[in-house]
Amino acid sequence: MAETLDANPRQDGTAPKTAARSFEAVTIGVSTGGVHALQKLLGQLPATFPLPILIVQHISADADSGLAKLLDERCPLRVKEADEQDEIRPGTVYLAPPNYHLLVEREGFLSLSADPYVSFARPSVDVLFESAAAVFGRGLIGIVLTGANFDGSQGLKTIKRKGGVAIVQDPADAEARQMPQAAIAATGVDYVVALDGMAALLQKLAARRNTIPHDEKGRDD
């Protein structure tokens, strides 16, 4: 039933309300307070988490790859700094490298760009979110975490416009609340949650990949 509906999207570009959703990827944007927040969130996801996770953490241009190594050591999932032409694999976390934007290509690869700063940042959350939304559409989960700027809000709006799901860290729970607040102000957010509940929520959403509980049908949109 669900598959049939998924195979026949409406011609106006919106998703049918009752269609089951099968998520393909998670994107996360985070700035000030990010090292702590990412350790906490990724630390609670099991090695069996089935979706790829793409992350932009604002970082200074001349930083080394220390953050990816740190997260890789402390989290069950494999964490790596994104290399150009990396194939996007399930259950792997990709971190945007310092001084490059991270983008998603249609063929399921990652690409990098040295284009000018967007939203005063490189890597920019907006760039990742917008390119991921173009590829994954309603199969994308976008998350905005703690940060002291506005990057990510335009990108989250695009994710919503293309049918994806938007999750924002509860500003009261965030080390810096501006980025979550800007995201909430920019678009209709699906979930506003504290960091502690986020891993459980992601696992619940990801589990819909194969089995769609009857009572959850139609609640996505």
C-beta separation of 98 from 62 below 8 A: yes
**Segment contacting another protein by CB under 8 A, of 92-100, 170-178, 192-200, 201-209:** 92-100
CB nearer to another protein: pick between 126 and 173: 126
Q: In whole angstroms, how close is the CB of 42 to another protein at the nearest point?
A: 22
Q: Is 119 in the site for another protein (CB under 8 A)?
A: no
Active site residue 36: no
Q: Is 106 in the site for another protein (CB under 8 A)?
A: yes
CB nearer to another protein: pick between 48 and 65: 65
Q: Is 18 in the site for another protein (CB under 8 A)?
A: no
Pick the binder of another protein from 105, 194, 196, 213 (CB under 8 A): 105
**Segment contacting another protein by CB under 8 A, of 17-25, 130-138, 194-202, 212-220:** 130-138
Q: In whole angstroms, how close is the CB of 76 to another protein at the nearest point?
A: 26
DSSP the chain: -HHHHHHS--TTSPPPTT------EEEEEE-TTHHHHHHHHHHTS-TT--S-EEEEE---TT--SHHHHHHHHHSSSEEEE--TT-B--TTEEEEPPTTSEEEE-TTSBEEEE-PPPBTTBSS-HHHHHHHHHHHHGGGEEEEE---SS-TTHHHHHHHHHTT-EEEEE-GGGSSS-HHHHHHHHHS--SEEE-HHHHHHHHHHHHHTTT---GGGTT---
Active site residue 221: no
Provide the annotated active-site residues: 31, 58, 151
Footprint of another protein (CB under 8 A): 9, 11, 13, 62, 83-85, 97, 99-100, 103-106, 111-116, 127, 130-131, 134-135, 137, 162
